[in-house]
Amino acid sequence: MRTKLLIVTLFFGFFMTFPLMAAPASGGNETHEQEFNAGHLIIDHIVDSHEWHIATIGHTHITIPLPVILIDQGKFHVFSSSKFHHGHSSYKGFKIETERNANKGKIVKVIPGTMQTDTAAEKPIDLSITKTVAGIFVSFLVVILIFSSVARSYTRNKGHAPRGLQSVLEPLILFIRDEVAKPSIGKHYERFMPFLLTLFFFIFFTNLIGLIPLFPGGANVTGNIGVTLVLAAFTFMMTAFSGNKSYWQHIFNTPGVPWWLKFPIPLFPIIEITGVVVKPFVLMIRLFANITAGHIIVLGFVSLIFVFGKISPGLGYGVSVVSVFFAVFISVLELLVAFIQAYVFTLLSALYFGMATEEHAHAAEHH
Amino acid sequence: MELVNPGLGLIFWMVVAFGLLLFILGRFVWPPVLRSLREREQSIELALHEADKAREEMKQLVFNNEQLMRQAEEERDALIRDARRVRESLIEEAKKQATEEANRIVENARERIHFEKMEAITELKNQIANLSIDIAEKVIQQELSQPEKQQEFVRRSLGEMNLN
């Protein structure tokens, strides 16, 4: 058992350093005059991409090309991102923007016959399966596989003590139910359990998969603002649709507030509505920032090795010891953050649902 | 600002994927999981409750047994006490009867003795009387065997008779 664990650790350890070591080399070799830029390296690793970069050995990029799906002027264009040759060529009048501007990494139209960006043309609607989307699908599959097995063991193992995967996840399920949903929502908690559990486990597993630097993992999914935007939007919609009469009354006509704060300038309603929007916005930013920060710190420590290695190879090796130590430390910390952020997102969603379904004592008096 | 500029496609796929995940898990996974968790909790609670009840019943049973034992002991003691009393009273009764019987027998005997004594005395009296008469007869016969003595006797008797 212990030997097996050691082998697995060594295996992962070996591959873990592989893409990171290769990455700055690619930056240096590809465009020979280009300096190693830690900021660009880090950002390129964190943002979305049309191909899944695994490793670069020498001059060969090992990447998984992902499908590009475009809707341009009502027409579908579906092709592999390998047609772009890592951004070096255009295809069907499209290219990946390589300039470091607001659209970097996005697909834009080119002026026919050149590689120039056609700034006048309307941008195509990009429904490509990008690295982040593929990462979402990986998390989706992992969650579905794990929980279909757990659901099976619950039906097969009825009335008995949990075992296997079921016993690993049951404390988490109970934690969400007893420590998050019940105290935050109150008596209507059962209605929100499926959403809260799905939310928690999706974020938690996606965070964990994001920490694995090997191929199916490593995509910065929960550190992508689009993903957290959708998650927060789901919470926002759930809150809005489950809000009861007293919840809306408190927003538009807050009881116990002098009338001149509501009319003629609806000061209080404006504040309340701002609050309604800010709550999911904060959810979005918090998860995105925490996960992205973790990735940036780990990449930053690794980049330090190459920054110092540029000065002198010996210094690079010296710094590598410290950097790897700190990178491992931060990675372990990120394991904790993966759980905490999933927990916080779920807890705050539950609190918002609780606010939306709460029955106020003074509202009940009027009934 | 590519970091905070998400693609529309990403948002679209995320909505699809998360919506589908919500639907699948919400439909096929969470209901059986939550239900069986609830059922297990209920059955554990029930089992604990029943164990409590059984313990209570056991206590009651032991208590009842003890009470039964105590009652039995008390009854036994009472029986023994009763038996002792009955025995004593029986003995007492028997003694009394025996004494009475003895007294009666003694009384009877005494009466008979008295009676027989009286009879014997009477008979003795009669015999003495007869003997006396016989003796008197003989004496008289002897006295009156001579004529002068007969005359003498008649005179004395006449003098004693005092005829007036």
Q: Can you give the pLDDT at residue B164? A: 60
Q: How many residues does chain A have?
A: 367
Is the model's pLDDT at A145 over the cut of 90?
Answer: yes
Q: Which residues from B are below 8 Å from A225, CB to CB?
A: 3-6
Closest residue in A to B15 (Cα) is A230
Residue A101 resides in a domain: yes
Lowest mean pLDDT among A3-7, A205-209, A238-242: A3-7
Interchain proximity B3–A225, CB inside 8 Å: yes
Is the model's pLDDT at B88 over the cut of 90?
Answer: yes
Q: Which of A128, A137, A198 sits opposite B25 (nearest CB)?
A: A198
Closest residue in A to B26 (Cα) is A194
DSSP-derived letter for residue A102 is: T
Q: Can you give the pLDDT at residue B108? A: 94
Instruction: Grade residue A338 by pLDDT with cuts at 50, 70 and 90.
Output: very high
pLDDT mean over B127-147: 85
Is the model's pLDDT at B1 over the cut of 60?
Answer: no
Is the model's pLDDT at A186 over the cut of 90?
Answer: no
Between these two residues, A8 and B155, which has the higher pLDDT value?
Answer: B155
Q: Report H helices in chain A.
A: 2-30, 38-46, 131-156, 165-175, 182-185, 189-211, 225-242, 245-252, 267-311, 313-357, 361-366
Mean pLDDT for chain B overall:
90
Q: Which residues from A are below 8 Å from B10, CB to CB?
A: 48, 130, 132-133, 224, 226-227
Interchain proximity B14–A226, CB inside 8 Å: yes
Same domain, A244 and A303: yes
Same domain, A155 and A115: no
Interchain proximity A173–B24, CB inside 8 Å: no
Q: Give A50 to chain B, closest Cα distance, Å.
A: 11
Same domain, A173 and A80: no
CA-to-CA separations, A100 to A116, A251, A289, A325, in angstroms, rounded: 14, 43, 21, 32
Same domain, A123 and A194: no
Helix (H, G, I), strand (E, B) or coil at A339: helix
Between these two residues, B121 and A4, which has the higher pLDDT value?
Answer: B121
- A317 contact partners, CB below 8 Å, separation of at least 6: A309
Residue A34 resides in a domain: no
Interface A-B, measured as beta-carbon pairs within 8 A, has a size of 127
Same domain, A353 and A223: yes
DSSP-derived letter for residue A181 is: I
* Residue of A137, A163, A230 to mutate for B, most B C-beta atoms under 10 A: A230
Same domain, A191 and A212: yes
Q: Can you give the pLDDT at residue A239? A: 92
Same domain, A110 and A239: no
Is the model's pLDDT at A246 over the cut of 60?
Answer: yes
What is the rounded radius of gyration, in angstroms, for the C-alpha atoms of chain B? 66
Interchain proximity A177–B37, CB inside 8 Å: yes
Is the model's pLDDT at B99 over the cut of 70?
Answer: yes
Mean pLDDT for chain A overall:
83
Which one of A128, A162, A181 terminates a domain? A128
List beta partners, residue A80.
Answer: A67
Closest residue in A to B12 (Cα) is A127
ipTM over 0.95: no
Is the model's pLDDT at B109 over the cut of 60?
Answer: yes
A245-253, long-range: CB < 8 A, 24+ apart:
A245/A363, A246/A358, A246/A359, A246/A360, A246/A363, A247/A355, A247/A356, A247/A357, A247/A358, A249/A363, A250/A360, A251/A276
What residues of chain A, 246 to 275, have a C-beta less than 8 Å from chain B?
none
> Per residue in B55-83, pLDDT tens?
999 999 999 999 999 999 999 999 999 99
Residue A14 resides in a domain: no
Q: Can you give the pLDDT at residue A359? A: 78
Residue A308 resides in a domain: yes
> Per residue in A254-295, pLDDT tens?
787 788 777 787 888 888 899 999 999 999 999 999 999 999
Q: Which residues from B are below 8 Å from A227, CB to CB?
A: 6, 10, 14
Q: Which residues from A are below 8 Å from B3, CB to CB?
A: 43, 46-47, 225, 292
Structural domain including A108 reads 67-128
Same domain, A271 and A171: yes
Lowest mean pLDDT among A98-102, A162-166, B118-122: A98-102
Same domain, A76 and A196: no
Q: Which of A87, A86, A68 is nearest to A78 (CA)?
A: A68
pLDDT mean over A302-313: 89
A159 touches chain B (CB under 8 A): yes
Percent pLDDT > 70 in chain A is 88
Is the model's pLDDT at A25 over the cut of 50?
Answer: no
Residue A329 resides in a domain: yes
Q: Can you give the pLDDT at residue B163? A: 63
Residue A31 resides in a domain: no
Between these two residues, A92 and A291, which has the higher pLDDT value?
Answer: A291
| Cβ atoms < 10 Å from Cβ of A97 | 18
Q: Can you give the pLDDT at residue A32? A: 42
Same domain, A151 and A105: no
Same domain, A122 and A138: no
Total tally of structural domains belonging to chain A: 2
Interchain proximity A127–B9, CB inside 8 Å: yes
Which one of A128, A144, A174 terminates a domain? A128
Residues of B with CB under 8 A from a CB of A: 1-15, 17-18, 20-22, 24-26, 28-34, 36-37, 39-40, 43
Same domain, A88 and A139: no
pLDDT mean over B30-44: 90
Q: Which of A213, A237, A247, A201 is nearest to A339 (CA)?
A: A201
> Per residue in A32-62, pLDDT tens?
445 778 888 888 888 888 888 887 787 787 8
Instruction: Grade residue A6 by pLDDT with cuts at 50, 70 and 90.
Output: low
Helix (H, G, I), strand (E, B) or coil at A80: strand
**Consecutive H or E run containing A51:** strand A51-57
Q: How many residues does chain B have?
A: 164
List beta partners, residue A117.
Answer: A110
pLDDT mean over A22-34: 42
Residue A216 resides in a domain: yes
* Residue of A198, A225, A234, A346 to mutate for B, most B C-beta atoms under 10 A: A198
- A315 contact partners, CB below 8 Å, separation of at least 6: A308, A309
Q: Can you give the pLDDT at residue A251? A: 82
